[in-house]
């Protein structure tokens, strides 16, 4: 079996890695690929870098996009301390005695190969396939290959168009809230988002873990999407993006808590519920969610508490942040309902008032068609916005 070996930190794996694999495969037609994430010493992996399991998982997700049989091996992440390629190749040769191995790598790694630990051993155990990234690098790479070959190496050089992506760039984009959709496979993007990787934001991380323990998978994903949408809307309308994001991630914190438990919580903290809230399945979580944030999580910011408190019904005089959470709840990426695209166009297209009215009209129609009670705050919100719109257009 001819097996290609590709190692790296893969923190995270990205499209340039995959492109390198595809180009090599086109030229060399291997039978299979082993992808080997490197062990990262604990002091280096602290903080905002993903752990070994997460890196492995992302590699697996990315490999599902390739056509050649590929496996992610954990032999380097399991090893204590720094991993040496020579050791890895020795272990693989023992484990798979009938395989011939080819180490694949980019141009930069190829240049440094002559100084790797026990490089003669590497040359003995594997062929080398280097991917050339620049047109002018060719003669230089051939010269290096000759040098290595004099030391026992068997080298081949494959040409490739080069995607200029680094894992550092991906991490920095995530940290600053930019999209990485064009840099990593879709499933990897989703994994990073769902697991809050590379954000370097302790408060967001704390709340993310808090809601993950309290919500179903779908509701958890919804909350992350509302946080993201709220942050974007805050940027558009001049609210505090940070507060919007935190209020968004927390807004449904009690949505999946059983009604009985919610009522006990209200009793314990002397929270008065009106008849609408007591009668409805869906109204409790907003008022009690805000109370929970205050009493149990120690959040005292009145704007965040207000935004969560009124995210379901709205109310007469809504602050900008409360409007944003109310709207983000309708237009977040996870939402699918007829008309959602129109609402997104309004919300992200500088028509917040219209988006809110659209949402309220939708809710009022749905509730009245199902002969459910309508909370006075919902009606007040609707009327106030109609007046506001008319006033603005007179
Ligand atoms: O928690 P989410 O599902 O993300 O969204 P939400 O908090 O806006 O809740 C939506 C539900 O709340 C939906 O089933 C309609 C219901 N709702 C909204 N306004 C009212 C209401 N239910 C009653 N009874 N009265 C209202 O005024
Ligand atoms: Fe809600
Ligand atoms: Fe919600």
Length of the chain equals: 394
Note the pLDDT of residue 54. 96
Q: Ligand 1 centroid to 234 CA: how many Å?
A: 22
CB 22 within 8 A of CB 33: no
DSSP 39: P
Closest CA to 325 of 356, 292, 294: 356
* Tokens 């390198």 sit on residue: 20
Q: How far is CA 85 from CA 73, 111, 114, in A?
A: 13, 15, 12
CB 113 within 8 A of CB 148: yes
Residues 6+ apart with CB under 8 A from 51: 45
For residue 286, give the ligand 1 atom closest to its CA. 7
DSSP 101: E
Q: Ligand 1 centroid to 330 CA: how many Å?
A: 11
CB 32 within 8 A of CB 4: yes
The residue to mutate among 273, 363, 381, having the most atoms of ligand 1 within 8 angstroms of its beta carbon, is 363
If phi over 0 gives left and psi between -120 and 50 gives alpha, with beta otherwise, what is residue 156? beta
Closest CA to 358 of 325, 386, 316: 386
Q: Ligand 1 centroid to 119 CA: how many Å?
A: 65
Query: 12: cis peptide before it, omega within 30°?
Result: yes
Of the bound ligands, which one is closest to the alpha carbon of residue 248?
Answer: 3
pTM for the model: 0.92
Q: Ligand 3 centroid to 363 CA: how many Å?
A: 13
CB 237 within 8 A of CB 352: yes
User: What are the two backbone dihedrals, phi and then psi, of residue 60, each rounded to the nearest 5 degrees?
Assistant: -60, -45
Rounded to 5°, the CA angle 149-161-110 comes to 25
Task: Tell the residue nearest (CA) to atom 12 of ligand 1.
Answer: 282
Q: Is 132 in the pocket of ligand 1 (CB under 6 A)?
A: no
Closest CA to 129 of 104, 101, 162, 159: 104
CA distance 218 to 91: 42
Q: Is 127 in the pocket of ligand 1 (CB under 6 A)?
A: no
Q: How far is CA 17 from CA 55, 105, 141, 262, in A?
A: 13, 10, 20, 49
Q: Ligand 2 centroid to 352 CA: how many Å?
A: 19
Of the bound ligands, which one is closest to the alpha carbon of residue 326?
Answer: 1
Output the six-digit token pair for 292.
């929970």
Q: Ligand 2 centroid to 216 CA: how many Å?
A: 13
Q: Is 367 in the pocket of ligand 1 (CB under 6 A)?
A: yes
Q: Is 313 in the pocket of ligand 1 (CB under 6 A)?
A: yes
**Is the CA virtual torsion 129, 134, 139, 140 positive or negative?**
negative
For residue 219, give the ligand 1 atom closest to its CA. 4
What string of pLDDT tens digits covers the 394 residues of the chain?
A: 999 999 999 999 999 999 999 999 999 999 999 999 998 765 554 456 788 999 999 999 999 988 899 999 999 999 877 889 999 999 999 999 999 999 999 999 999 999 999 999 999 999 999 998 777 778 899 999 999 999 999 999 998 877 889 999 999 999 999 999 999 999 999 999 999 999 989 999 999 999 999 999 999 999 999 999 999 999 999 999 999 999 999 999 999 999 999 999 999 999 999 999 999 989 999 999 999 999 999 999 999 999 999 999 999 999 999 999 999 999 999 999 999 999 999 999 999 999 999 999 999 999 999 999 999 999 999 999 999 999 865 4
Burial class from Cβ neighbours inside 10 Å (0-12, 13-18, 19+) for residue 233 reads: buried
Task: Tell the residue nearest (CA) to atom 10 of ligand 1.
Answer: 312
SS3 117: coil
CB 348 within 8 A of CB 233: yes
CA distance 11 to 52: 9
CA distance 240 to 66: 42
């Amino acid at each position: 079996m001819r097996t290609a070996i590709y190692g790296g930190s893969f923190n995270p794996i990205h499209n340039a890695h995959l492109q390198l694999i595809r180009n090599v495969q086109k030229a060399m037609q291997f039978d299979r690929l082993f992808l080997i994430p490197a062990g990262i010493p604990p002091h280096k992996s602290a903080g905002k870098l993903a752990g070994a399991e997460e890196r492995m998982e992302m590699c697996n997700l990315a490999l599902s996009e390739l056509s050649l049989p590929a496996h992610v091996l954990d032999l380097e992440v399991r090893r204590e301390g720094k991993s040496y390629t020579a050791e890895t190749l020795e272990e693989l040769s023992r484990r798979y005695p009938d395989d011939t191995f080819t180490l694949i790598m980019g141009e930069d790694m190829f240049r440094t190969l002559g100084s790797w630990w026990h490089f003669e051993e590497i040359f003995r155990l594997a062929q080398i396939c280097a991917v050339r990234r620049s047109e002018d690098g060719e003669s230089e790479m051939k010269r290096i290959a000759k040098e290595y070959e004099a030391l026992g190496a068997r080298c081949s050089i494959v040409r490739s168009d080069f995607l200029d992506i680094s894992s550092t760039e991906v991490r920095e984009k995530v940290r600053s809230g930019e999209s990485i959709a064009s840099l990593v496979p879709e499933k990897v993007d989703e994994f990073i988002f769902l697991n809050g990787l590379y954000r370097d934001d302790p408060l967001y991380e704390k709340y993310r873990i808090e809601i993950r323990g309290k919500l179903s998978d779908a509701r958890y994903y919804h909350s992350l999407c509302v946080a993201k949408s709220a942050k974007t809307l805050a940027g558009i309308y001049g609210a505090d993006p940070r507060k919007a994001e935190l209020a968004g991630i927390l807004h449904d914190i009690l949505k999946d808590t059983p009604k009985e438990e919610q009522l006990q919580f209200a009793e314990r903290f002397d929270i008065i519920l009106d008849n609408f809230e007591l009668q409805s399945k869906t109204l409790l979580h907003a008022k009690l969610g805000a109370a929970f944030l205050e009493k149990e999580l120690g959040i005292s910011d009145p704007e965040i508490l207000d935004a969560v408190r009124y995210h379901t019904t709205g109310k007469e005089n809504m602050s900008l942040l409360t409007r944003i959470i109310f709207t983000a709840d309708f237009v977040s990426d996870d939402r699918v309902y007829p008309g959602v695209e129109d609402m997104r166009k309004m919300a992200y297209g500088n028509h917040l008032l219209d988006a809110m009215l659209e949402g309220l009209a939708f809710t009022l129609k749905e509730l009245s068609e199902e002969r459910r009670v309508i909370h006075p705050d919902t009606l007040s919100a609707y009327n106030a916005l109609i007046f506001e719109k008319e006033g603005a257009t007179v």
